[in-house]
Amino acid sequence: MNMLRRKLYRDLMHLKGQMLAVAAVVACGISVFVSMSSVKYSLEASRQQYYSRYRFADVFMQVKRAPEFYRESVGSIPGVASVTTRVMADVTLDVPGLDEPATGRIVSIPEYRGMAGLNDVFIRKGRYIEAGKSEEVIASKPFMEANGLEPGDRVGAVINGRKKELVIVGMGLSPEYIYEVQPGSFFPDNRRFGIFWMGRRSLESALDMSGSFNDLSLALTHGTSEKDVLMQLDHLFKPYGSFGAYGRSEQLSDRFISDEIKQVGMQITILPSIFLGVAVFLLNIVLRRIVTTQRDQIAVLKAMGYSNEDIGFHYLGFAMVPTTVGSVIGTALGAWLGRGLMNVYGDFYNFAELVYYFRIEDVALSVLLSFIAALFGAWSAFRKAVEMPPAEAMRPDTPVTYRPGIFQRESLRKKIPVPIRIIVRNLERRPLKAALTVIMIALSVAILVAGRFTYDVTDRMMLVEFSEKHREDVTIVFRDPMPFAVRYNIASLDGVLEHEYYREEPVRISFGHRSRRQSIKGVESAEGLQRLVDKDNRQVVLPRGGIVLTKTLADILGARPGDMLNVDFQQGRQLRRQVMLAGTIDEMLGLSAYMNLRDLDRLAGDGGALNAAYLRIDSSKAGRLYSKFKEMPGISGIMMLKALRKSFDELIAKSMNTSTIILTSFACILAFSVVYNGARISLSERARELTSLRVLGLSIREVSIILLGEQALLTGIAIPLGFLFGIGLSVLLSLALSSELYRMPLVFSAYNFIFAFVVIIIVATASGLAVRRRLVNLDLVAVLKTRE
Amino acid sequence: MDDGTRQVNGERGLVLRISDLCKSYVMGEVTVDALRHVSLDFFHGELAVLLGASGSGKSTLLNIVGGLDVPSSGKLFFHGKEITAATEEELTDYRRRSIGFVFQFYNLISSLTALENVQLVTEISEKPMPAEEALALVGLGNRLNHFPAQLSGGEQQRVAIARAVAKRPELLLCDEPTGALDFQTGKLVLEALEKVNREIGTTTLVITHNVSIAGMADRVIHLSSGEVTEDLRNASRLSPSELVW
């Protein structure tokens, strides 16, 4: 079989352009599959290791203040393996080198490392705090890195109304804050928000919380019903102002990372399927053509006594070799891409150790899938080679039958130039092949459109979140609920142009048997600094008397506008009230419940309270205002909209560019492979005909028009179809990627379609030129001399 | 087809028996009878020329004899074994061991050199002659490493002959071997065929519509409209160099 192998090798070298195109498509599919699978596994494994090594809790609860001895009552709940109580508080920070105030969340840790319970801190740099040194803290890595802080640096903080200077002794990370965002925000702003860990005793005394705790973490034994434990906790801590116990699935950081892993999982299936589908198509048309052009060779091999299996496997080789090459390249590329993607994830998610696992199982699976696809693609050619009766193979392929088509109408015929007629008849003759080619090109267009779609979504999100919905400059969060009169203090600050307040009340909303821990936001106005804007950038009115829920939240509850919802207040008098679902709002981010401030006050049955203020400030007076905020004891958190936007912009730009470059290049490879192979096969099928036309006196240009015009026409049809496919693919993506945290609006900019159009035109032209070069080099005499 | 079968064979030297062979094709709406009741015997070392116009059934007969095609009815025996009853594997084996083909359009594998084209056959044969020797036999000992595209038509056809005879077939089937060649080159090819027939003793069937070639044969068979119209023996064989057309 040595000579057949040699023939295979030489034939493959002769067809290397087409074979490389096939290999490239396979490589794209495998690299996406391998990289995404390995990223998914690496994220899962890193998370798992991090959680178990640093004892991430299973159940969480915040309370106003509960006596420490309750710890034992909690420990005696069946199924509770261990209990950790902590105190924590959000404080305003004065960070060296930062004009604006920052926000810190200070969390207590045991004075001695050996006593560490759940949610342990990993020390990346520096050391653990020393017992008795009340100024020592460990700060989170993202915050320290964003601010250029090192162990030994100092940060000012206002804790419980008292200014205190903190000394950072270590850089830490915790499984609780893999995604480190300020409460109430979706986007990390590591310069202005950080986690600090402080000795329990020091923090207790700073917060006047001796003998008490306000944060509870539990680990459960295997097989324990989380729901039962949550219910018991809620019951036990009801008198202490519980904000409601929740499991890992509602823990913000875990929620983000879990959603991310789920989304990566979705991408493992969608893109590689497209690439493998195209590979099947390409192998099918290329191999069928090879078998057709080599009919006489097949015949002679059979005449010599080569068996059908020998010949069949020889032609399968034409599919297996590019698939193997594609697999090798795809695996290497996938390993590299996976590592790169993990680095991008490393920017978003803060793991103690983000390990990249490149698994041979993923490679094996993807290679296996590719070979199955290759076999699938090669099957009809294989059958054709095997079944071709040798005597028939000796005869030239029967001339194809042309039937009178749409140009047979006398009136039309005269108006249509000959080259166009040839093109159209050709397409009419092989409608299935033409249709498949169109579909394949359209798929490349679709990948381009879907790739840019995420850009458009992000633009929309930026627009809605940072300009339409929020128009304030600064949000200040009060440490404790404030009375109405606080507005006079705020108004008196020099530089405050507009101020608007809201109340945030932790409740449990239920409808029928479904319920959900949620906070209701009571807003003064839905048309002021903050507005209610949905994902399609439409403003939603907030009716008086009722409640408006994020559509996803209403769906979770199974409630529809007009339904009466039960609301259990967790704080204060802990009333159970009823409120009408007045409407829903299809928001992009998170789950929210909105009410008019006065309605909420009335529902809560108290005198009213304010938790935060939106401010529009005079930028010329911002500096002085910021210094004032840094000193104000009543403020526990500050958010700067512009800074948040900038930080998010930078973060997202990096990751978006990576994924867009990958998707765009892969779509280009796909389009090039399809168009180039289509044109090459046309050239091979019609070399004689085209050369005859040249001999008859048609110019290279006219002949090129006949050959490439067909591809141009197919590409032209494929582009609008690809736009539709792209929209479909985007819908699929948005469905697959939507979660409680995040929903994608269907938004497509004109730029998206123009981009896809231009890229496809460039790619089609490039492949057309590559084939035209072959057309120019056709040896007129040689082609006519050989038998068809 | 092995030695055992050969000894059982009744008539001495009988290689091939064609008995009442018919072949019809259905082409669209018409049925074409390519062969009608053809019966012929061929003997060891014979060089036979099959003459006939285009469409007379020559190639169909050759394809059936070579195991490339199956007849509609009738039987074909090779050394007493019925080829028409052979399975697909047996047919492959028959072609591999016993038959050498030479085609009008050479049918060389364009991606393999002359030597490699011959090796394609020697690799799967049992006691082949060395590929170099086969090429030397047809006068191409100095063109071993040329690709088909680098060879003239005559040279390509001689490579095809070398490829066909390298396995030392018992039956050499040539379909218009000079059909695509000019007079001088054609003669070179015929000389190669004649040499192989003489030196190796291969039974050789040559199809042609060129009457002049008949002179070099032991036996000349005329086919017309799928029937044998004449089956003559030449008193003596001419050397290909003596042929004129």
The reported pLDDT for the residue numbered A627 is 87
H-assigned helices in A349-397: 360-387, 390-394
Distance (Å) from the C-alpha of residue A317 to the closest C-alpha of chain B? Answer: 15
pLDDT of res. B12: 58
Q: Beta A102-109 vs A193-199: how paired, if at all?
A: parallel
A335-386 pLDDT per residue, tens:
999 998 898 888 889 998 888 998 889 889 988 989 999 999 999 889 988 8
Residue of A nearest to B89 (CA): A307
| Residues of chain A contacting B125 with CB distance shorter than 8 Å | 305
Distance CA B87, CA A78 (A): 77
User: What is the chain A residue with the closest CA to B121?
Assistant: A304
Residue bearing tokens 């063109």: B143
Residues from chain B that touch A399, judged by Cβ atoms under 8 A, are none
Closest Cβ opposite residue A787 in set B96, B105, B116: B105
Residue in the block written with tokens 């009823």: A578
In 3-state terms, what secondary structure has residue B163? helix
* Sheet with B171-175: strands ordered across: B99-102, B171-175, B203-208, B47-51, B219-224, B227-233
Q: Residue B12 phi/psi, 5° resolution?
A: -65, 130
pLDDT by residue (tens digit) across B120-156?
Answer: 888 888 888 899 999 988 889 899 989 888 888 889 9
Determine the pLDDT at residue B107: 79
Q: Is the pLDDT of residue B217 over 90?
A: yes
* Per-residue pLDDT at A241: 83
A383: closest CA among A486, A313, A326? A313
Residue from A8, A296, A300 to probe the interface with B (highest B Cβ count within 10 Å): A300
pLDDT higher than threshold 50 for residue B10:
no
Q: What residue spans define the domains of chain B?
A: 3-242
- Whether the CB-CB separation of A502 and A524 falls below 8 Å is answered with yes
Q: Identify the segments of chain A with pLDDT beneath 70.
A: 1, 392-418, 695-697, 779-788
**Per-residue model confidence (pLDDT) at position B177:** 87
> So what's the pLDDT on residue A582?
94
- B184 by Cβ neighbours in 10 Å (0-12 / 13-18 / 19+) ranks as exposed
Q: Is it the case that residue B52 has pLDDT exceeding 70?
A: yes
Q: Please give the Cα distance from A30 to A337 (Å, whole number).
A: 11
Contact at 8 Å (CB) between A21 and A282? yes
Chain A residues with CB under 8 Å of B144 CB are none
Q: Identity (one letter) of the amino acid at A589?
A: L
Helices (H), A388-409: 390-394
Decide: A18 and A676 in contact? Cβ < 8 Å.
yes
Answer yes or no: do B109 and A389 touch at CB < 8 A: no
Distance from C-alpha of A169 to C-alpha of A130, rounded to nearest angstrom: 9
- Interface residue A16 vs chain B (CB under 8 A): no
Q: What is the per-residue pLDDT across A565-586, written as a single tens digit (0 to 9) for each?
A: 999 998 888 889 999 999 999 9
Give the separation between CA A97 and CA A74, rounded to whole angstroms.
Answer: 44
CATH architecture, domain B3-242: 3-Layer(aba) Sandwich (3.40)
* Strand bridging mode B30-43 / B171-175: unpaired
Pick among A8, A309, A394 to test the B interface (most B CBs inside 10 A): A394
* Cα dist from A773 to A222, A556, A690, A708, A769, whole Å: 69, 61, 14, 12, 6
Angstrom distance (rounded) from CA B63 to CA B83: 12
A190 in Cβ contact with A141 (< 8 Å):
no
> Which domains are delineated in chain A?
1-59+255-394 (no CATH), 60-254 (no CATH), 417-470+642-788 (no CATH), 496-617 (2.40.40)
C-alpha closest to that of B200 among B239, B240, B238, B167: B167
Going by pLDDT thresholds of 50, 70 and 90, the confidence category of residue B1 is very low
A781 contacts in chain B (CB < 8 Å): none
Best B1, B54, B107 residue to mutate vs chain A (most A CBs within 10 Å): B107
**Contact in structure between A624 and A494 (CB atoms under 8 Å):** yes
Nearest CA in chain B to A295: B107
Q: Nearest 5 degrees, angle CA A501-CA A161-CA A253?
A: 65
Q: Are the beta carbons of A87 and A204 closer than 8 angstroms?
A: yes
Tell me the two tokens of residue B35. Answer: 């062969």
d(CA A687, CA A675): 18
Task: Give per-residue burial for A129-166: e unless 16+ CB within 10 Å, then b.
Answer: bebeebbbbbbbbbbbbbbebebebebbbbbbeeebeb
Taking every pair of Cα atoms in chain B, the longest distance, rounded to a whole number of angstroms, is 52
CA distance A555 to A563: 12
Residue in A244, A285, A669 with CA at minimum distance from that of residue A447? A669
Report the share of chain B in percent with pLDDT over 70.
Answer: 95
Q: How far is CA A482 from CA A485, A568, A613, B128, B163, in A?
A: 8, 21, 10, 104, 101
Contact A342, A354 (CB under 8 A): yes
Enter the tokens of residue A183.
Answer: 């409460």
The pLDDT score that the predictor gives to residue A402 is: 57
The DSSP bridge partners found for residue A612 are A477, A502
